[in-house]
């Protein structure tokens, strides 16, 4: 009787996990474009016991870009295939980020997700993993027209934020706010990419430091919100880091060792 109860409990547990993979925002089976465009970004659950697929159809030549953040349950590789299942692009980093891009003709395509595990005892068929994805698709004609209208900057422009200004506002108990979408600098933000710097090591462009000191009798909790918007389809990869002084020092030491020709750390 005890063995039957244990077996029933294990089966129930496995069923709950499998169901949860489908209930917690599962990977879409198809992508629906509106006006020949799509931009998808967020966390999705993927089963690990079998290969997952996302299908989409294009009616006009289009640009395609795919990104998947690092994942830690198993290694997950991705492939972009056409209607004949010929591989057009793939990404097979080990436990790392996955990225694909292509210029596609009208037709039917699919993104394949293939999980890998080196643990022979792992029960993958009853497990799932959270994947943070970003997928963008837009017609070649519309994208080229938009890019042609963008200003051509020869230099990197960083928003005029200073660590001193942040500390002054915080020391007076007020909030520091900078919003480039409403500021006069909204059209000037630009990061110039030097092709000689492209590689696997990150490049740190700028940093800001600040101190959070609670006053006696006040709640020692603070709220920070920082966001960076850019065109995912036609731009590179930009990130914001919130780090402690200790980690900032480690980044500086690493930058000096690798001789990265840029400012050391990014602190927002």
For 52, the 3-state DSSP assignment is strand
- CB burial readout 115-128, b (16+ within 10 A) else e: beeeeeeeebebbb
Measuring CA to CA, which residue among 41, 160, 56 is closest to residue 108?
56
Distance CA 197, CA 132 (A): 27
pLDDT tens per residue across span 88-97: 999 988 778 8
Q: Which two tokens stand for residue 76?
A: 């997950």
The more confident residue out of 201 and 69 is 69
DSSP secondary structure string for all residues of 90-157: EE--SSS-EEEEEEE-SEEEEEEEEEE-S-TT--GGG-EEEEEEEEEEEEHHHHHHHHHHS---SS-B
Q: Which two tokens stand for residue 57?
A: 């159809």
Cβ contacts of residue 87 below 8 Å, gap of 6+?
79, 80, 81
- Whole-model pTM: value is 0.67
Looking at the chain, the whole-number percentage of residues with pLDDT higher than 70 is: 67
The more confident residue out of 198 and 99 is 99
pLDDT at 19 over 60: no
Distance CA 203, CA 77 (A): 25
> Quick one: residue 158, left, alpha or beta (phi over 0 = left, psi -120 to 50 = alpha)?
beta
pLDDT tens per residue across span 20-57: 566 668 899 999 999 999 999 889 988 888 889 999 99
Phi and psi at residue 110, to the nearest 5°: -150, 145
Bridge partners of residue 128, in order along the sequence: 47
Distance CA 187, CA 99 (A): 28
Q: What is the largest CA-CA distance in the chain?
A: 76
pLDDT tens per residue across span 222-248: 788 777 666 778 776 677 777 777 776
All domains in the chain, ordered by first residue: 2-146 (2.60.120.380), 150-268 (no CATH)
CB 1 within 8 A of CB 18: no
Per-residue confidence (pLDDT) for residue 90, from 0 to 100: 93
């Amino acid at each position: 009787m005890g063995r039957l109860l244990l077996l029933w409990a294990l089966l129930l547990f496995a069923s709950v996990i499998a169901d949860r993979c489908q209930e917690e925002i599962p990977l879409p089976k198809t992508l629906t474009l509106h006006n020949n465009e799509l931009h998808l970004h967020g966390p999705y659950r993927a089963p690990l016991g079998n290969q997952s697929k996302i299908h989409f159809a294009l009616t006009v030549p289009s640009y395609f870009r795919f990104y998947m953040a690092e994942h830690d349950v198993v290694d997950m590789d991705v492939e972009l295939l056409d209607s004949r299942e010929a591989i057009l692009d793939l990404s097979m980093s080990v436990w790392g980020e996955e990225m694909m891009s292509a210029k596609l003709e009208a037709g039917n395509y699919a993104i394949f997700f293939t999980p890998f595990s080196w643990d022979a005892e792992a029960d993958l068929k009853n497990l799932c993993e959270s994947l943070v994805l970003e997928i963008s698709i837009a017609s070649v004609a519309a994208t080229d027209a938009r890019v042609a209208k963008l200003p051509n900057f020869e230099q990197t422009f960083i928003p005029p934020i200073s660590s001193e200004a942040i500390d002054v506002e915080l020391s007076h108990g007020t909030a520091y706010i900078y919003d480039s979408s409403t500021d006069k600098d909204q059209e000037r933000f630009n990061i110039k990419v030097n092709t000689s710097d492209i590689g696997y090591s990150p490049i740190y462009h700028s940093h800001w430091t600040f101190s959070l000191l609670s006053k006696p009798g006040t709640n020692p909790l603070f709220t920070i919100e920082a966001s960076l918007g850019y065109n995912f389809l036609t731009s590179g990869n930009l990130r914001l880091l919130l780090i402690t002084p200790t980690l900032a020092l480690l980044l500086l030491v690493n930058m000096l060792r690798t001789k990265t020709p840029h400012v050391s750390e990014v602190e927002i």
